[in-house]
Structure 1
């Protein structure tokens, strides 16, 4: 016979220290946190040293990552992102645009985890931006453009966002 309280572990339950009452883990939130953390690491390594996860804002959400002046990042990770249909991506682009407006940002970037590409390689996740006045200089053309997150960071730095990397010396 064992001494002390008996505990059982289930994947969906966690026990708070001292309280003894089981608490449900929010796996979706955990996956979102892991994805956002991976994207922040990529941003910091690619010219956005002040990037950090943003606290939730509810109905007036301003994106998942802050510290990148003029930019609004919305991050989608886990199975929902890996299995996202074109319609789901379109809905997330619209969500990103709403959050861009809420944040008073110039550009909204949707970052979507790719199947087979884990958080350690988040630089290879998809970054989806709207190709509108920022790129074409006209507002009647508006369509999504998809590229790797690392490439989006390069494009954004060259457009004046973030800080140049040491390898991108500014010529006089």
Structure 2
């Protein structure tokens, strides 16, 4: 396995471990699905999580990939986790479209490229998932937090 694949697997595994410790006991690394990839982390119904550990810092391309994979997953809440070397996992960067946080902004942008994304630490994003009703006690997979 290449060094980049090893690093990617390690990064995803560390995010899964963090989320499990946070209380999301059902999360796991998702198997690749090619064009129909639905994010890197499975186990939180309605949420798509894309994880990047490579050092290329292609954040704009990764954001576009995250949006595509969220659509494939039919997820209504999604974000990108970017590994930050020399920081604990809880402080790794999360990128998320601002419209996911503010319902009033969801129709303010005509194109994905126009929509601003915000950054936060993974620990805060995990809190937000819980606050929005996703989590171990969430309703069945046929319902979402907005129901």
Smaller-chain TM-score bracket: 0.7 to 0.9
Gaps of at least 5 residues in structure 2 are 110-114, 138-147
Give the greater-gyration-radius structure (CA). Answer: 1
- Paired residue total: 131
Contact 1:47 1:157 in 2 (8 A): no
Tell me the equivalent position of 2:127. 154
Select the structure with the greater relative contact order (CA < 8 A; seq sep ≥ 6).
2
| Partner-residue secondary structure (3-state), 2:62 | helix
How far off is 1:133 after superposition? 5.1
Q: Do structure 1's residue 61 and structure 2's residue 41 form an aligned pair? A: no
Tell me the equivalent position of 1:18. none
Equivalent of 2:62 in 83, 92, 96:
92
Tell me the equivalent position of 1:130. 97
| Partner-residue secondary structure (3-state), 1:127 | strand
How far off is 1:125 after superposition? 0.3
Contact 2:77 2:100 in 1 (8 A): no
Q: Do structure 1's residue 140 and structure 2's residue 118 form an aligned pair? A: no
Cα RMSD, aligned residues only? 1.5
TM-score (norm: length of structure 1)? 0.71
Tell me the equivalent position of 1:163. 136
